């Protein structure tokens, strides 16, 4: 089990440029923030919008983890977007956490792969090397199939015999092309593999694409997946991966995870 609330405000936010003057640009930021909070849960966890014109225009993209509830999505976004409040006239910035990511920019970022990302394995123990290899192969397979799902996310699980099961989830922003989505996920795995090597659980999150890998079945039960049907326990032999792709509402169920991040790697 991993990190629940780690928000990173990127250097581009430009703190120190904040002004107490209530400018049109600040007002547009506030309107955009409210649009993202309100509409992201209503659009299966992904929403992009812009407010204003010319030099006062601001663009935003928000995404929630595919298997959380609408309420959990809303709560995460409120917390994340609250991080911007100290400087609403900032030109751009990003937040990243387990459950949601946001990106605010003066440029139109729709459809653009943002390379900022971070990885963590929290307090997870080391896994058997062969088990990790099988699990990582499952995640590599997800990187090739997620782009072709209706909502560009997919869950998978693999039975590793005496070691139990390993569960994975991959997703992309739905503004990305299939090719860019695949390239993003594959790049994340390549970049962070040595960092998460042999861990029983880890996550790689970023505004464009994210992946989660755990050994805790309660994090990926049939209700939370919102993607059913999930394979029965004895339906697949050990070492065989099974998948479930999302095609409907994310508001079926929720789960709460409280973790402490002891190891985090960030790249931008």
Q: Does domain 117-267 have CATH number 3.30.430.20?
A: yes
pTM across the whole model: 0.77
> Terminus-to-terminus CA distance in the chain, angstroms?
24
User: How many beta carbons lie within 10 A of that of residue 126, not counting itself?
Assistant: 11
Spatial contact of 185 and 160, defined as CB atoms under 8 Å apart: no
**Each residue's pLDDT tens digit, 48-106:** 999 999 888 999 999 999 999 999 999 999 998 887 765 555 567 889 999 999 999 88
Rounded mean pLDDT, 16-27: 65
Q: How far apart are CA 74 and CA 116, in angstroms?
A: 23
- Summarize the confidence of residues 102-127 as an average pLDDT: 88
Rounded CA separation 57/70 (Å): 28
| Architecture of the domain spanning 11-105 | 2-Layer Sandwich (3.30)
The domains of the chain are located at: 11-105, 117-267
Query: Once rounded to an integer, what is the mean pLDDT over residues 167-173?
Result: 96
117-267 matches 11-105 in CATH topology = yes
The phi, psi pair for 156, rounded to 5°, reads -145, 160
CB count in 10 Å sphere of residue 51: 19
């Amino acid at each position: 089990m991993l990190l629940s609330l780690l928000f990173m405000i990127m250097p581009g936010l430009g703190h120190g440029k904040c002004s107490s003057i209530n400018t049109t640009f600040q007002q547009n930021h506030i309107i955009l923030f409210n649009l993202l909070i309100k509409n992201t849960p209503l659009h299966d966890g992904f929403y992009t919008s812009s407010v204003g014109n010319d030099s006062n225009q601001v663009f935003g993209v928000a995404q929630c983890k595919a298997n959380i509830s609408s309420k959990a999505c809303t709560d995460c976004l409120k917390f994340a977007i609250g991080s911007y409040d100290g400087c609403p006239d900032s030109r751009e910035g990003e937040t990243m956490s387990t459950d949601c990511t946001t990106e605010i920019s003066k440029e139109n970022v729709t459809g653009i792969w943002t390379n900022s990302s971070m990885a963590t394995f929290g307090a997870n123990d080391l896994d058997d090397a062969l088990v990790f290899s099988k699990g990582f192969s499952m995640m590599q397979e997800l990187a090739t199939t997620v782009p072709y799902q209706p909502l560009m996310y997919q869950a998978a699980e693999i039975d590793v015999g005496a070691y139990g099961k390993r569960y994975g989830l991959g997703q992309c922003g739905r503004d990305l092309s299939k090719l860019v989505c695949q390239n993003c996920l594959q790049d994340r795995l390549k970049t962070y593999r040595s960092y998460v090597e042999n861990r029983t659980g880890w996550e790689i999150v970023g505004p464009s694409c994210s992946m989660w890998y755990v050994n805790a079945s309660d994090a990926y039960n049939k209700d939370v997946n919102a993607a059913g049907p999930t394979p029965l326990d004895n339906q697949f032999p050990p070492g065989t991966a099974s998948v479930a792709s999302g095609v409907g509402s994310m508001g079926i169920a929720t789960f709460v995870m409280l973790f402490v991040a002891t190891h985090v790697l960030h790249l931008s």
